[in-house]
Copies of this chain bind each other. A is one copy, B any other.
Amino acid sequence: MIFQNENSYEVKEKIENSRVAILPIGAVEAHGPHLPLGTDNYLAEQLSQRVADKTGAFVLPTLPYGQVWSLKNFPGSINVSNQSLISLICDIGESLHHQGFRVFVLINGHLGNAVAIKEAARKLYETVPDLKVLYLFYPGVKAITDELRDTPSAHASYFHACEIETSYMLYLAEQHVDMAKAISDIPDIPPSADVTPTPWEEFTASAVLGDATLASREKGEAIIEVALANMVEQIEQAKKSLGNK
């Protein structure tokens, strides 16, 4: 159910039946030589579509610009501020509520957006309290990822254009991956990167945080399917919590 393909005459009833809107949100950002700048957008869109199929939700048009402060000096990155994102997401959420939606799901393909999304969700919690807002960034995949990966993670919370993210792309948007160009580049991220603002050019020239050559569609599928199942479960719970309201 692609929201922008609906027409105004019929959509009202469909919204009442579905009550769930999914906003894919990604970024335009450097992802090494083998993945496109729009990687996070493609991932968010593909995840959203699959989740929508399983939950009867509407997929909204993708919000394709994200906060990419860390990589903003790499060729091709387009950075927008947390403040702009927060403001826009709040507007969208309030409008969705006005339209009759009661669950607003942000499926996020880019970790850098997490702060803005959470802040916006808290603001909406005050302004439209009966709108349930979910922010989903590959929920519940830690165990399966640790099991499947062949190289250790370069960082406790970041992953980028690496074995893992490339595997996601191979499963969800293979046509945008050029494995012939995939490289391995495991940076030594200094501890200071966690305690002071650190543009990534200070520790990587490629923006690849790992060994992308080890990526596989199978790894991607295994992890993504766990993420999808968890997303669907959260949405179903949220729908149940609406009751007959």
What is the interface of chain A, defined by CB distance below 8 A to chain B? 3-12, 15, 28, 30-38, 41, 60-65, 69, 72-85, 87-88, 90-92, 95-96, 98-99, 115, 118-119, 121-122, 125, 132-136, 139-140, 142, 156, 176, 178, 181, 191-192, 194-197, 207, 230, 234, 237-238
Contact = CB atoms under 8 A, between A and B. Distances in A.
Contact of A74 (B8, B72, B237): B8
A72 B8 CA distance: 11
A89 B234 CA distance: 33
28 contacts: A3-B37, A3-B76, A4-B36, A4-B41, A5-B36, A5-B37, A5-B176, A6-B36, A7-B76, A7-B181, A8-B30, A8-B37, A9-B181, A11-B37, A12-B75, A61-B62, A65-B92, A72-B95, A76-B99, A79-B91, A87-B88, A88-B88, A115-B115, A115-B119, A134-B195, A139-B194, A139-B195, A192-B234
B12 A76 contact: yes
A31 B5 contact: no
| 7 tightest A-B CB contacts, nearest first | A4-B38, A61-B64, A8-B30, A12-B75, A80-B91, A11-B76, A9-B33
Contact of A136 (B4, B8, B32, B195): B195
A169 to B, nearest CB: 12
A149 to B, nearest CB: 18
A145 B35 CA distance: 38
Nearest to A176: B5
A99 B84 contact: no
A37 B6 contact: yes
A134 B196 contact: yes
A133 to B, nearest CB: 6
Given A4-B28, A85-B88, A195-B234, 8 more contacts: A3-B28, A3-B76, A7-B37, A62-B64, A72-B95, A77-B99, A80-B92, A115-B119
Most buried by B among A33, A41, A91, A142: A91
A194 B3 CA distance: 27
B196 A132 contact: yes
A122 B230 CA distance: 33
A62 B142 CA distance: 33
Nearest to A31: B8
Nearest to A73: B98
Most buried by B among A11, A75, A81, A192: A75
